[in-house]
Structure 1
Amino acid sequence: MANRFALGVFFVALYVVVSAAGEVYAASYFQQADVFVALLLSFAVVCLMFNLLARHEGAGATVAKWSLLVFVALNVVTAISWIGLFVGLKYAEPAIVVAFMVALGPTATVWLNALIRRQGAPPASDIVVSVTIATIGTYMIWISASGNAGVEWGARSSFGIVLAIVAGLSLALTNILVKLLFDRGFSGRQVLAHRFYGTILLLLGLVDHSSILPEISQHWFAIAAIGLSTILIPLLLIQQGIRHVEPFTVNMVLSTAPIITFLFQYFDSRIVPSSHTFIGNVLITAVAVGNIYLQYRRSA
């Protein structure tokens, strides 16, 4: 049991490192490029690839009627979380966007997990930790609004923060729905194969279709790098993590993402290092790591 727990934490931690690097790169790229074109191409390729893999392993593309509602819900929250994340990265500091997402995740997961998966009342320690991290998240709001973030507060910065909050709530629900499908016997490839239809449909409505070919011809390498580092590889890693540990543990490991993202920001000359952002990220990470250790002891 302890080995399974450690393996799950390792996969999610690896997800945090890879996606943090990709998100900082994407935030810089989106300042002068079309975010929706890059996302549409990336998700279309990912969806096609995992449909082929699911068919190859004999899983097919059929979904039982009793699980159809779960897949529909998963498509909706996946679209909201991913598009909210990437548009938020365009208008706000990446470390703060990620901090909002993970600050809300544990709080939402505690109650959504009990409600959806019928796990019963959460332990008191989980409630205390989730509320603590959410409180630190309010400090991050002050950092952004007071002009103490690494990126200057602009006309659309508040829009970016709101999207990050919505994306954080959606991400928490996404992890629970994926775990629910695993509980019902679906493979990781099946879940990934059917997860992005809603995202692709939404992006088709948002994208300027006349800009697709010019964007590909000018920025094909950047689009491929963003797709691999922020979508494809992280998805494979986090699905393995969700398979081995509970959603709350996943969110606790994800709570270390802000400090990792903050460190990668040193490679982006557009962002000025902010001590206020650093303090907020360290506080969230410290609480998260402490809780991960307690859960590891509990599992052992």
Structure 2
Amino acid sequence: MTSPSRRLALAGPLLVLGYCVINSTKSVFEGSLVQHLSPEFIAFNSFVIAQAFYFFTCRDKKALTSVVRRLLTDVVALNISTAVCWIAVLYAFTVFEPAMANSVILGLVPSITILLGFKLRPGTKALPLELVAAAIMLAAMGYLVAMAWQGSSAIGNVPPGEIAFGLAACVLTATSLAGITYSTKRLSDGGMSVQQMMASRFVLLIASTFVILVARDSFGPYSPGNVGAILAISTVGVIISLYLLQQGIVRTEPITVSMLFGTNLVITYVAQFFDPRLHQSQATLIGIAAVSAAMLLGTWARWRDGRNAAEPAETEEALT
């Protein structure tokens, strides 16, 4: 029979995986949408709805204000990481196919998470197999960028300047994803609930995308189709999926979260079959397979380490 401690340990990864299923499908949808709507227009409208929902469903506004003031530095860090992540990934989709963009991003996230961990969570160290998995992901990322340079991605030939821009957007997204993971963990350790995090998370994202909209004059038409797409992204792709992710992160070690993000890739690749502008690329599939295998290796290593640590405690409890 599975012990309560093991069930609790499994709950976090399952919540993160639920987020990955929704997010991977949303990535393909957004990749198609940014071809005729600006990334900032999509992000601004989607997150205005999401922020309003989370704020008004947070019942105790006094407690929210108090915890935000007490943990202001980490709340600001979460806002900055969120804003950079969502804006940068949408711009990455304007250059790369969603599966390749996500592969490059996820190839970087574990290494960045490990490096940030030395500063932000010095008590938790990466396992040797997690370091191996991170190295494999970096190698796969390099391979995918080389394939895009050669025109072997699902989009075909991409000018070098656009590749450089897309790669920069991927680096920003990967860095901010690691920042989101650690900021969320620190806020949770400080006593902030998931609901309070969500109610205060998107303020900077909304403000920054509005500024970009005005500066670029990139407002799109509020047609029935566009409004329906934005509502779908906001309700399913943001409100539901991010709640699952936040709940998963507070129950899971950051490096495990970064490894689990790799499941996005397989689902995204399959979902791309429904986007007529893309032809499926064998080079992308090879890169996805390498990143996914490394993700499984890293996740297994952390699970095994947690199991080995739990067994002596369970044995001691049984003896007493």
- Fold-level similarity (TM above 0.5): yes
2:174 corresponds to 1:174 = no
Map 1:253-264 onto structure 2 (within 5 A): 253-264=260-271
Q: In structure 1, the residue corresponding to 2:64 is in which secondary structure?
A: coil
Coordinate RMSD, CA, aligned: 2.0
Given that 1:12 and 1:250 are in contact with CA atoms closer than 8 Å, whether structure 2 keeps it comes out as: yes
Given that 1:36 and 1:206 are in contact with CA atoms closer than 8 Å, whether structure 2 keeps it comes out as: yes
Map 1:157-236 onto structure 2 (within 5 A): 157-208=163-214, 212=219, 214-216=221-223, 219-236=226-243
Given that 2:108 and 2:171 are in contact with CA atoms closer than 8 Å, whether structure 1 keeps it comes out as: yes
Given that 1:16 and 1:257 are in contact with CA atoms closer than 8 Å, whether structure 2 keeps it comes out as: yes
Which amino acid in 2 is paired with 1:200?
Answer: I
Given that 1:55 and 1:61 are in contact with CA atoms closer than 8 Å, whether structure 2 keeps it comes out as: no
Q: Which runs of 5+ in 1 are unaligned?
A: none
Q: What TM-score do the two structures reach when normalised by structure 2?
A: 0.88
Q: Distance in 2 between matches of 1:217 and 1:36?
A: 19
Q: Distance in 2 between matches of 1:143 and 1:223?
A: 32
Render the CA deviation track for 1:27-71: whole Å, top value 9, x for unaligned.
Answer: 111111233222111111111111112235874333354411111
Map 1:1-300 onto structure 2 (within 5 A): 1-56=5-60, 59-63=63-67, 65-155=69-159, 156-208=162-214, 212=219, 214-216=221-223, 219-300=226-307
Structure 1 residue 278: deviation in Å?
A: 0.2
Q: Distance in 2 between matches of 1:261 and 1:213?
A: 26
Segment drifting more, 104-113 vs 32-41: 32-41
Segment drifting more, 287-296 vs 175-184: 287-296
- Equivalent residue, structure 1, for 2:315: none
Which amino acid in 2 is paired with 1:179?
Answer: K
Change (3 A) 1:220 1:122: same
Q: Distance in 2 between matches of 1:272 and 1:213?
A: 28
Change (3 A) 1:151 1:229: farther
Structure 1 residue 295: deviation in Å?
A: 2.0
Q: Distance in 2 between matches of 1:290 and 1:120?
A: 18
Structure 1 residue 201: deviation in Å?
A: 1.1
Given that 2:134 and 2:294 are in contact with CA atoms closer than 8 Å, whether structure 1 keeps it comes out as: no
Q: Distance in 2 between matches of 1:184 and 1:21?
A: 33
Q: Distance in 1 between matches of 2:247 and 2:69?
A: 25
Q: In structure 2, the residue corresponding to 1:153 is in which secondary structure?
A: coil
Q: Distance in 2 between matches of 1:272 and 1:18?
A: 22
Given that 1:2 and 1:299 are in contact with CA atoms closer than 8 Å, whether structure 2 keeps it comes out as: no
Given that 1:54 and 1:61 are in contact with CA atoms closer than 8 Å, whether structure 2 keeps it comes out as: no
Given that 1:114 and 1:122 are in contact with CA atoms closer than 8 Å, whether structure 2 keeps it comes out as: no
In our comparison, the structure showing a higher alpha carbon Rg is: 2
Given that 2:133 and 2:294 are in contact with CA atoms closer than 8 Å, whether structure 1 keeps it comes out as: yes
Given that 1:102 and 1:254 are in contact with CA atoms closer than 8 Å, whether structure 2 keeps it comes out as: yes
Which amino acid in 1 is paired with 2:183?
Answer: L
